[in-house]
Structure 1
Amino acid sequence: MKDYLHQSRRYVLRSEVSADDIDDFALAWGWPLVHETHRDRDEQVDGQLIWQGLPDVALHFIVDATSGVAYVVFTGDGRSSVEPFEQQFLDQVPLWGLDELFRAFDEAEDARTRAQHVLRMGLAAPPEFDEGVFRRISETVANSEPKVRYAGLWATTYTGYQRFVPVIRRVSLEDPEDYVRSRALSIVKAFEAEGSQ
């Protein structure tokens, strides 16, 4: 499979959008399905379908191994080759916008819903630092529910924001749950390895 120079940001799909819907969208462009990987949560393998467009553009439908959240990215040899297709997609497919995710997170009435929204938020985070994302994920990492804190930790990994390192390090040292501390420590190490490159 080809390596591309440009990748779009991640676009988190609404739950009503299925792989079949994305397939219909790609086929309307005449793009054949060229790759399929089935999600395996135990092995931490993302599910992925790839449709190949012009020689230098592809559409990827990905289901995150951990969260089960589906999102789309476009890849291509350059931004100019990707943008026309990306814009058509954005105009026609129901996606979670960041402001909508902020609102849904802020209004969530139970821990499970809040955890789901924070995972979506992490995946939808822009590559450049976003204060709203940082604040809400940091709140989640300090939640009273261990499963919500765990979801918050995963959300930090999707963003790539190095500013999370002190927050996660504190969790790795102070969280009352072993499994949360252990995950936090592995995430700190991954962030530190990434930051040293």
Structure 2
Amino acid sequence: MTVDVFRSRRLVLPGPSELPAVADFASRRGFKLIRDATSDPRFGVTRELAWELDPGLELYYVEETKMASCFLQVEGDDKEDVNETADLLAELFRAASPERLLDDVDSAATAEQYASAILRLGLGAPAAFDEEVYRRIAAAIDADGADIRRAGIWSTAFSRWPEFGELLERVAATDEVPELRREAAIVGQFEGGRS
């Protein structure tokens, strides 16, 4: 018998690390820690922890070094439980709403803020294709600055929408910066999957 697994949207938290607050929350509620992994920061994920909230309902906390961000995600066998839990956690931990992530891109005053906002938008992108998110990430991939193009490339790594495939292929073939061509090719290899 196959059990369906449902995932919430990634709840992008305010800072690059919110581990003390999340771990304290889980500890105070007596949630069972079921995963604690530290990875090589060169590969992006620095830390991943998971707690069992109830049988069939888990909370994941992930820190991403490339994006200088962290997020929560709820996973479980009951879609309604997953979504209700995610909504409560989003409010408790002040996760950025999808609208806020879009606004942060639109209101970025510097190239550095713009690149950071694009990365966070990609991290918080919904599972299903969203035209507004796509337009902003595509604009970053086509931007003049190499750092902004890099942010656009890496921001596609979480959504993995097939719609990004052509953009990544073009960058991999034609970008003036060899390192960006290589990065686009690497990210493009994983396009079409789901994190």
Quick check: TM above 0.5? yes
Shift, 1:181, TM fit: 0.8
Q: Which segment is superposed worse, 136-145 or 181-190?
A: 181-190
Q: Does 1:40 align with 2:21?
A: no
- Cα deviation for residue 130 of structure 1 reads 0.8
Moved more, 56-65 or 3-12: 3-12
- Deviation of the 1:25 alpha carbon: 2.2
1:67 matched to 2:76? The reply is: no
Q: Structure 2: any 5+ residue segments left out of the alignment?
A: none
Which stretch of the first structure deviates more once superposed, 45-54 or 83-92? 83-92
1:26 alignment partner in structure 2: 26
Where does residue 190 of structure 1 map in the other structure?
190
Q: Which has the higher strand share?
A: 2
Aligned to 2:174: 174
Partners of 2:160 and 2:190 within 8 A in 1: no
Moved more, 167-176 or 3-12: 3-12
- Pair 189,50 (structure 1): closer, same or farther in 2 beyond 3 Å: closer
Residue 140 of structure 1 corresponds to 140
Report the equivalent of 2:161.
Answer: 161
Cα contact 1:40–1:65 (8 A) shared by 2: no
Of 171-180 and 182-191, the range deviating more from structure 2: 182-191
TM-superposed deviation, 1:100? 1.3
Q: CA deviation at 1:77?
A: 1.9
Q: Deviations along 1:108-132, whole A, 9 cap, x unmatched?
A: 1211111111111001111111111
**CA distance in structure 2 between the aligned counterparts of 1:171 and 1:9, rounded to whole angstroms:** 28
Using structure 2 for the length normalisation, give the TM-score: 0.88
Q: 2: distance between equivalents of 1:17 and 1:182?
A: 29
Change (3 A) 1:87 1:45: closer
Q: State the number of aligned residues.
A: 192
How many angstroms apart in 2 are the aligned matches of 1:19 and 1:25?
10
Stretches of structure 1 lacking an aligned partner (at least 5 in a row): none
Structure 2 residue matching 1:51: 3-state secondary structure: strand
Aligned partner letter, 1:76: G
Q: 2: distance between equivalents of 1:132 and 1:97?
A: 14
1:65 Cα deviation (Å)? 4.4
CA distance in 1, matches of 2:141, 2:115: 10
Cα distance, 1:154 vs structure 2: 0.6
Partner of 1:77: 77
